[in-house]
């Protein structure tokens, strides 16, 4: 369908040129004799092409115009066929595609440029010769527009040719790390590389996006003036808090697999070049409704056809590469680990989107988080409906993992290719245990909290336009009141030196019911950092000023329910309740 569209658009200028040539070369043209006149002009054109003998009425320039029109359209059809043939041949093997794509892409770009200029030249020639033959006025404006379009086309196509010779770059809101400063992670990556036959990447970056990927493109980050060169591995901090150590090994083994064997050349040559060309075409597409964009439409569509014909080969080989990399990931751990890493990444991506929505919504209220990764972990632990998780996993089987350059098969296809039994793999109890009872991989690594907090600050800057216009200039009384309630709840949960999930749930449910608009994310964060809570005497003093007698009674009742949530009231909890009971006294006000 794409080829037909290109052929139709590519026919317009040649058809205009041919029509003008035939019309100018005919002594009299009517509907009845149109075919006869056209065939007669064809004989004249053949004579002109073979022995430069022009026997038709009218200037010989019209004969050349018609021949140029025919040649241009024929070349367009030849390029369309060549694209199909070359894409099919190069797509037979990833190494052939890796080495053959860039030269052919440059060739097709140059041919598309020549054909685009030829289309504009045909229109300009038809306008000029028509004016000269039938009128005494030269179509200055039309010729100027066509000239501008030709210059624009020349500039655009030249810049796109340069894209293929320019090292592709990608931006990552991630922090580069030294494996010497994170030796446990370095040892894990080196162990996986040894098992899979891959190599330790030149760079490792840690980010908040819920995806793992490996790339040979230059990577720009906010933490460096220059770009990271060579092979770069991106690790997702949120997902590292969800995956087990063996699942993380499977993921890293998969990604390092793209740096081994024939995948190396594919990753270094074709994937970045194709991604660059695809990105450049997207930018050209943005200008398609400008005057120059309309006039250069045939060239734009020809380039789209080049990209489109190679997309199928890229998708097929990318899927093959992913299945091969999955097997390498399984060799670094187990097939089950590969499968659950895929399922967890799918669910984790959905939870992360909720974390980001919560971040922006809280920031609009003047509430900010220290660590978005910990917020993600809290949402996964407390907000995911565990009864709905197994069906959600079934739904996720049709997902494909996102990647900057590659096309991935569906999760179901990838798991099936590992030879796993779906019924056994997706047993409800096994799924819940995998998600909620396994120790996360970060527990065996060096402390990454400071990087998580640093990236959290970065994300607030990146998304500032979405929250800053609505953020209040200062906190109002209600926000101060809710913060006070949050701090009381957090003190009760953490007073015994540990955090019990049952107390977290009870505190959130009770506070939301009694006080409304309770900041659950802020409360969970406060429970992780009890050292940041205000002094108890100051909290009680402020509560006496802000709370009515009913509010004081509700607060005391809520704190007691939290203390009793784990079926026992420990000594530290009892002492805290007694202190609040004795110091926070109702005054008889409403």
The DSSP result for 390-446, as a single string, is: HHHHHHHTT-----SSPPPPPHHHHHHHTT--HHHHT-HHHHHHHHHTSPBGGGGS-
Measured from the Cβ of residue 449, the count of other Cβ atoms closer than 10 Å reads 14
pLDDT at 37: 65
User: Which tokens in the block code for residue 175?
Assistant: 């922090």
CA distances from 6 to 77, 111, 149, 398 (A): 9, 14, 19, 33
H/E element holding 205? Answer: strand 203-207
User: Which tokens in the block code for residue 228?
Assistant: 């990271």
pLDDT at 298: 80
pTM, rounded to two decimals: 0.78
pLDDT digits (tens, 9 = 90+) for 166-202: 656 789 999 999 999 999 999 999 999 999 988 899 9
Domain boundaries, the chain: 2-163, 168-261+330-470, 474-583
Residues of the chain with pLDDT under 50: 29, 31, 405
CB under 8 Å, gap of 24 or more: what pairs does 84-90 form? 84/3, 84/309, 87/309, 87/310, 87/312, 87/313, 88/313, 90/310, 90/313
Pairing of strands 203-207, 218-220: unpaired
pLDDT at 262: 63
Largest CA distance in the chain: 116
Q: What DSSP state is assigned to residue 381?
A: I
pLDDT at 379: 95
- The string of DSSP letters for 292-335 reads HHHHTHHHHHHHHHHHHHHHHHHHHHHHHHHHHHHHHHHHHS-H
C-alpha 338, offset from chain centre: 22
User: Which tokens in the block code for residue 113?
Assistant: 């440029």
Q: What DSSP state is assigned to residue 197?
A: T
pLDDT at 124: 80
CA distances from 122 to 74, 81, 103 (A): 14, 23, 29
**Burial class, 441, CB count within 10 angstroms (exposed 0-12 / middle 13-18 / buried 19+):** buried
Strand order in the sheet with 174-177: 174-177, 203-207, 232-236, 213-215
pLDDT digits (tens, 9 = 90+) for 501-543: 999 999 999 999 998 889 999 999 999 999 999 999 999 999 9
pLDDT at 473: 83
User: Which tokens in the block code for residue 70?
Assistant: 């025919």
Judge contact between 433 and 393, C-beta under 8 A.
no
- The string of DSSP letters for 222-281 reads TT-SS-B-S-EEEEEHHHHTTSBHHHHHHHHHHHHHTTSTTHHHIIIIIHHHHHHHHHHH
- Whose tokens are 């590519």? That residue is 10
pLDDT at 193: 94
Question: Residues 415, 418, 424, 429: is their CA dihedral positive or negative?
Answer: negative
pLDDT at 163: 58
User: Which tokens in the block code for residue 344?
Assistant: 């967890």
**Burial class, 62, CB count within 10 angstroms (exposed 0-12 / middle 13-18 / buried 19+):** buried
């Amino acid at each position: 369908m794409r080829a037909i569209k290109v052929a139709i658009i590519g026919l317009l200028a040649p058809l205009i040129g041919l029509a003008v040539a035939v019309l100018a070369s005919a002594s009299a043209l009517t509907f009845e004799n149109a075919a006869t006149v056209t065939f007669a002009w064809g004989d004249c054109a053949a004579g002109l092409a073979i022995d430069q003998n022009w026997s038709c009425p009218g200037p010989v320039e019209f004969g050349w115009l018609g021949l140029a029109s025919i040649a241009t359209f024929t070349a367009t059809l030849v390029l369309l066929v060549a694209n199909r043939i070359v894409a099919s041949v190069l797509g037979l093997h990833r190494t052939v595609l890796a080495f053959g794509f860039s030269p052919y892409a440059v060739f097709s770009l140059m041919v598309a440029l020549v054909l685009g200029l030829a289309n504009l030249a045909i229109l300009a020639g038809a306008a000029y010769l028509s004016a000269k033959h039938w009128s005494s006025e030269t179509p200055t404006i039309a010729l100027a527009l066509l000239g501008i379009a030709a210059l624009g086309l020349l500039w655009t196509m030249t810049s796109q040719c340069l894209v293929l010779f320019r090292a592709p770059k990608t931006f990552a809101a991630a922090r580069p790390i030294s494996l010497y400063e994170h030796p446990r992670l370095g040892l894990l990556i080196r162990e996986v590389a040894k098992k899979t036959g891959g190599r330790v990447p030149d760079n490792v970056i840690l980010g908040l996006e819920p995806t793992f990927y490996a790339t040979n493109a230059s990577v720009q980050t906010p933490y460096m003036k220059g770009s990271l060169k060579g092979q770069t591995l991106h690790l997702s901090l949120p997902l590292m808090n969800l995956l087990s150590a063996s699942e993380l090994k499977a993921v890293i083994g998969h990604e390092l697999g793209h740096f081994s064997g024939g995948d190396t050349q594919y990753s270094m040559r074709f994937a970045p070049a194709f991604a660059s060309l695809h990105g450049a075409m997207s930018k050209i597409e943005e200008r398609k409704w400008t005057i120059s964009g309309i006039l250069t439409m045939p060239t734009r569509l020809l380039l789209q056809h080049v990209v489109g014909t190679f997309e199928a080969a890229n998708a097929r080989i990318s899927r093959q590469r992913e299945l091969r990399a999955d097997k390498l990931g399984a060799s670094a751990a187990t097939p089950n680990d590969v499968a659950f890493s895929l399922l967890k990444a799918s669910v984790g991506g959905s939870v992360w989107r909720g974390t980001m929505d919560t971040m922006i919504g809280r920031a609009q209220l003047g509430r900010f988080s220290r660590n978005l990764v910990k917020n993600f972990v809290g949402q996964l632990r407390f907000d995911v409906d565990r009864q709905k998780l197994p069906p959600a996993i079934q739904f996720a089987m049709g997902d494909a993992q996102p990647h900057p350059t590659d096309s991935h098969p569906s999760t179901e296809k990838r798991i099936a290719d590992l030879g796993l039994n779906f019924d056994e793999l997706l047993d409800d109890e096994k799924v819940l245990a995998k998600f909620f009872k396994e120790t996360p991989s970060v527990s065996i690594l060096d402390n990454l909290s400071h990087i998580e907090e640093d990236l959290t600050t970065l994300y607030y800057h990146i998304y500032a336009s979405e929250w800053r216009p609505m953020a209040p200039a200062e906190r109002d009384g209600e926000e101060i009141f809710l913060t006070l309630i949050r701090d009381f709840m957090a003190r009760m949960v953490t007073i015994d030196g540990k955090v019990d999930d049952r107390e977290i749930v009870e505190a959130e449910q009770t506070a939301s019911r009694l006080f409304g608009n309770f900041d659950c994310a802020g409360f969970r964060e406060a429970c992780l950092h009890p050292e940041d809570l205000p002094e108890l005497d100051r909290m009680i003093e402020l509560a006496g000023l802000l709370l009515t007698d009913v509010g004081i009674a509700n607060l005391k009742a809520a704190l007691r329910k939290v203390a009793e949530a784990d079926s026992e009231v420990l000594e530290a909890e009892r002492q805290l309740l007694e202190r609040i009971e004795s110091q926070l006294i109702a005054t008889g006000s409403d």
